[in-house]
Amino acid sequence: MLMNRRQFLSISGAATLVAVCSPNALAVSSSPDPKSIASDAFKAMRNLAQQKSRLLGYPINMTTPPDEFFAWRKELAAAGINRFSFNNVGNPYDHSNIPFNCHSFEKDLINRFGEVYGFPLSNIWGFLSNSGTDSNMHGLYMGRTILKSDTGVVPKIYFTNEAHYSIQILRDLLQLDWVVVGTNPDGSMDADDLERQLNANPDYPALVVATIGTTFKGAIDPVDDIQKKLKGRTAYLHLDAALFGGYLPHTSYADEILHESTVSSSGVKQKRYDSIAVSCHKFFGFPSPAGLFITTRTNFEAFRNQFSQIHNPEYIKQVPGTITCSRDAVKPAEFYFFSTPSAFKRHAIDAAAMLKNTAYLLKEMSNHYSYLHPVRANDRSNTIYFITPGKAIVDHYSLATMQLEIDGKLTPCAHAVVMPHATKKMLDQFLSDLRNRIT
């Protein structure tokens, strides 16, 4: 029997929807007025603000930026930014036909970070994206496009099971055939297995994703060993350095993340990777999601040659090089604050404290809770994973959990990501909670 409209609305709850969406909605709806809804939302958020310093299970820096950042915001507002519509559509390195943008901030900050990652200033291109995932998307799209244009063949993508889940989504989006590369015991990519897999797929160019700081274990894929295996092949190497990419340049391990290495005998510099993705809300503590996407001008131009055949530049008078058209102008202007020499000094202080606190947490957990099997994959990592200590701790510290194989058995595990807000005092509290509240 067919339902009539009234019956349909009554079972689907659509009556409420229609009421809310109709022009008379506010007059006829029995829902509370918007002000009271907002006050509840504000109350909930104020509670969250109190809890923020105990987040330990995800790589987000919950430290409130320094007062100077909020003063910087005011300066930006005085210039009209975030007061009326600005839009960073297009390539920040090109002239824009639409003047209401913050391209100069965006280009400057990309150049500054580009130099931190060891790109020569004359050969940097990039932009501020929406997130690490967005930067990964641009890296993979650029790699796919360049490799296909060089060979006429769509590449296969190579990554490990420890790569972030965004890579699986993106390989689906880009319709790429994929090859899962095996890992070493610490969770890093096994370069010998990569070689085996490359040899098994000789007719395809290789789009390789190396992760510098895998999401759960904090492993680092061996970029130089990977490059050795790629030698003589048509390949593009994208670095997903969403978290570690923020702090490694400010530590004694900066070499891990440098775009170029010096070959000692000849003194010639060699490229280590093609593009890099870093999240801004992770290590840097930028208050909303954003990402750095940085590559070489050379790659960008090779990409643009192809992109210009897909995209008709007439309307905006340039080939943007970004997948998204309209782009946020406020974030680059704000994130610029995190790219100044004094910001880099702060990053160095935060990075040192974070690694010291991670070492402390590992030592204390190993001494007092060895039965939880705490593991730090390497001394560049701010992540420790261990057997899940029980729901109370997991909930209280918002710990991410995953099943890992321990002694041949799938075991529920959690990890602690020691971000700059995770001070020794906070970690001591965590350690004492472990003692008192393991269930």
Ligand X SMILES: Cc1ncc(COP(=O)(O)O)c(C=O)c1O
Neighbouring C-beta atoms of residue 412, cutoff 10 Å:
13
Q: Is 155 in the site for ligand X (CB under 6 A)?
A: no
Token representation of residue 314: 């007439």
Nearer to ligand X, 211 or 227 (CB): 211
- CA proximity to 66, closest of 295, 345, 313, 307: 345
Residue placing its CB nearer to ligand X in the complex, 179 or 242: 242
In the complex with ligand X, which residue's Cβ is closer, 52 or 317?
52
290 versus 362: smaller Cβ distance to ligand X: 290
**Distance (Å, rounded) from C-alpha 130 to C-alpha 391?**
33
Calpha distance 374→364 (Å, rounded):
10
Least distance CB 290 / ligand X (angstroms): 8
Q: Which stretch binds ligand X (CB under 6 A): 172-180, 235-243, 310-318, 320-328?
A: 235-243
Is 347 in contact with 283 (CB distance < 8 Å)? yes
Residues 48-77 touching ligand X, rule: CB under 6 A, are 59
Say how far apart CA 193 and CA 180 lie, in whole Å: 10
DSSP-derived 3-state class of residue 310: helix
Judged by CB under 6 A, the residue of 73, 138, 156, 164 near ligand X is: 164
CA-nearest of 238, 334, 347 to 287 is 334
Closer by beta carbon to ligand X, 132 or else 374: 132
Pick from 291, 332, 374, 420 the residue near ligand X by CB under 6 A: 291
Stretch that binds ligand X, among 1-9, 92-100, 239-247, 364-372 (CB under 6 A): 239-247
| Integer Cα distance of 285 and 351 in angstroms | 12
Instruction: Give phi and psi for 375, each to the nearest 5.
Output: -135, 135
Query: Cα(183)–Cα(188) distance, rounded to whole angstroms?
Result: 5
Within 111-150, the residues that bind ligand X by CB under 6 A are 131-133
Q: How far is the CB of 328 from ligand X (least distance, A)?
A: 14
CB of 199 to ligand X, least distance (A): 27
At 200, is the secondary structure helix, strand, or coil? helix
Q: Does 242 bind ligand X (CB under 6 A)?
A: yes
Smaller CB distance to ligand X: residue 274 or 434? 274
CB of 216 to ligand X, least distance (A): 8
Question: Does residue 279 touch ligand X according to CB under 6 A?
Answer: yes
Choose between 205 and 245: whose C-beta lies nearer to ligand X.
245
- Give the shortest CB-240-to-ligand X separation in angstroms: 5
Let me know if 15 is exposed, middle or buried by CB neighbors in 10 A (0-12, 13-18, 19+): middle
State the minimum distance, in angstroms, from the CB of residue 429 to ligand X: 24
Using CB positions, name the residue nearest to ligand X.
132
Which one of residues 61, 166, 188, 382 is an interface residue with ligand X (CB under 6 A)? 166
Least Å distance between CB 331 and ligand X? 13
**Residue whose C-alpha is closest to residue 426's, from 321, 353, 373, 349:** 353
Alpha-carbon distance values, 292 to 76, 77, 99, 110, 398 (Å): 21, 23, 23, 7, 26
243 binds ligand X (CB under 6 A): yes
- Element at 249 (helix H, strand E): none
The count of chain residues that interact with ligand X, using the rule CB under 6 A, is 15
**Of residues 203-222, which lie at the interface with ligand X (CB under 6 A)?**
211, 213, 215
Give the binding range for ligand X (CB under 6 A) out of 100-108, 200-208, 236-244, 315-323: 236-244
Q: What is the dihedral of CA 377, 381, 387, 390, to 10 degrees?
A: 180
If binding is defined by CB under 6 A, does position 418 make contact with ligand X?
Answer: no
Residues that bind ligand X (CB under 6 A): 59, 131-133, 164, 166, 211, 213, 215, 240, 242-243, 279, 289, 291
